[in-house]
């Protein structure tokens, strides 16, 4: 896939946390919670090294994705691209880069979570070849 000009992709490290959190906050469709606090994201990155990525225009972070696995399936979270940088292939490249890391770890299938009312987000995932599952409901419980 061709790299959008001037945009660089690199591993998500905690140096980028504040900028990424700001980006997520500014992007519709990204649901944030205590799971996204600095210590929890640090723990996620430590458990899943080299699988989450950011996109930069110079020093400015304009895209991000969290990716990891539990040993059997991969999971993507919080793919976001700054509104001024959309429709340039950056979202697609971010998740493909994460999928390459999951493939290298032997993971054969990956899931993601999208709010039911995030119509544009769902259109994106369909357009890039993902299946929107109608046969599964997410179940959750506070521990």
Ligand X SMILES: CC(C)(COP(=O)(O)OP(=O)(O)OC[C@H]1O[C@@H](n2cnc3c(N)ncnc32)[C@H](O)[C@@H]1OP(=O)(O)O)[C@@H](O)C(=O)NCCC(=O)NCCS
Q: Footprint of ligand X on this chain (CB under 6 A)?
A: 27-30, 78-81, 86-92, 114, 118, 120-121, 123-124, 127-128
Q: Which residue is nearest to ligand X (CB)?
A: 91
Specify the residue, 41 or 90, whose C-beta has the smaller distance to ligand X.
Answer: 90
Q: CA dihedral in degrees (40, 44, 46, 47; nearest 10)?
A: 130
Q: Which of 15, 85, 26, 94 is nearest to 54 (CA)?
A: 94
Specify the residue, 56 or 88, whose C-beta has the smaller distance to ligand X.
Answer: 88
In the DSSP assignment, the letter for residue 94 is H
State the residue for tokens 């304009």.
62
Token pair belonging to 66: 């969290």
Nearest distance from residue 105's CB to ligand X, in Å? 21
Nearest distance from residue 137's CB to ligand X, in Å? 18
Nearest distance from residue 139's CB to ligand X, in Å? 19
């Amino acid at each position: 896939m061709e790299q959008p000009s001037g945009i660089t992709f690199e591993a998500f490290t905690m140096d980028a946390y504040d900028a990424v959190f700001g980006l997520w906050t500014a992007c519709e469709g990204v649901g944030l919670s205590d799971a996204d606090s600095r210590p929890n994201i640090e723990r996620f990155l430590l458990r899943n090294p080299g699988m989450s990525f950011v996109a930069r225009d110079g020093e400015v972070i304009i895209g991000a994705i969290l990716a990891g696995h539990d040993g059997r399936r991969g999971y993507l979270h919080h793919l976001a691209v700054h509104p001024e940088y959309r429709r340039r292939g950056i979202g697609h490249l971010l998740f493909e880069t994460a999928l390459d890391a999951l493939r290298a770890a032997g993971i054969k299938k990956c899931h993601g979570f999208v709010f039911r009312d995030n119509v544009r987000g769902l259109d994106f995932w369909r357009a890039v070849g993902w299946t929107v599952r109608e046969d599964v409901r997410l179940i959750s419980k506070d521990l």
